[in-house]
Amino acid sequence: MFAAVRLRAGWLAVGTALGLAGCAAMPTLPQIDLAMPTLPGFGPPPISAAMEPVPLGPVAESRVVAQPVSATAAQAGAFSAKPAFFVQWKPEMTGMTRRPRVDTSTPLPKYPESAIRSGDVGTTTLESCVTVDGRLADVKLARSSGSVALDSATLAWAQTAKFVPAEFNGEAMAVCGWRLDYQWKMDGGR
């Protein structure tokens, strides 16, 4: 039995010596490249030659054509971008200390003359993101009021309206998927 204990102690000493030597004495194994099987939907997508980037050479200034952009289109582009970081909106959210709402300093939208003449009423529902700075982004018409004039007036108002952002544990946070219902009434009680 004593011999067996001594034998184990000998191998332990050899293993420790190799470990302390930084395994420099151990031969390294050759690198073997094997194709790993992949499951559909996992791994990098196959790249065809048409998808490979092609370096572009210098472009002469005479060939560059400036595209005219209207002020409305420029605003619409900024108006449609989602914030980089946001929380998906749910009516009851853990940690929410304040819901988003229209700022009291924001004037209400003006009733369109064409809608007054035709007697249009209804509720326009917008779905959007409320940013940290109190603006709407990525605005979509979720439900129409039945009047193009009322829906257009609501969307135009939303571009300039100021909102109070949502707060989570006292810190302002951008939320997306928030719905705003704006009810249009003829009696002035909007």
* Cα–Cα distance measured from residue 8 to residue 130, given in angstroms and rounded to the nearest whole number: 70
Selection from 172, 132, 171, 123 nearest residue 150 by Cα = 123
Domain ranges of the chain: 74-88+110-184
Q: Are 100 and 130 in contact (CB under 8 A)?
A: yes
d(CA 64, CA 83): 31
Do 109 and 153 form a contact (C-beta atoms < 8 A)?
yes
**pLDDT digits (tens), the chain, 190 positions:** 555 555 555 555 555 655 555 555 556 667 766 665 666 666 666 656 655 555 555 545 444 444 443 334 434 444 557 777 777 878 777 788 888 989 999 898 899 999 999 999 999 999 999 999 999 888 889 999 998 999 999 999 998 899 999 888 888 889 888 899 999 988 754 4
Per-residue pLDDT, 17 = 57
Secondary structure of residue 109 in the 3-state scheme:
coil
Q: pLDDT value at position 10?
A: 58
Structure tokens that stand for 63 in this block: 């060939």
* The pLDDT of residue 43: 60
Q: What's the CA gap between 30 and 2, in Å, rounded?
A: 40
The reported pLDDT for the residue numbered 82 is 76
Residue 186 CB partners (closer than 8 Å, separation 6+): 116, 119, 121
Per CATH, domain 74-88+110-184 is 3.40.50.2300: no
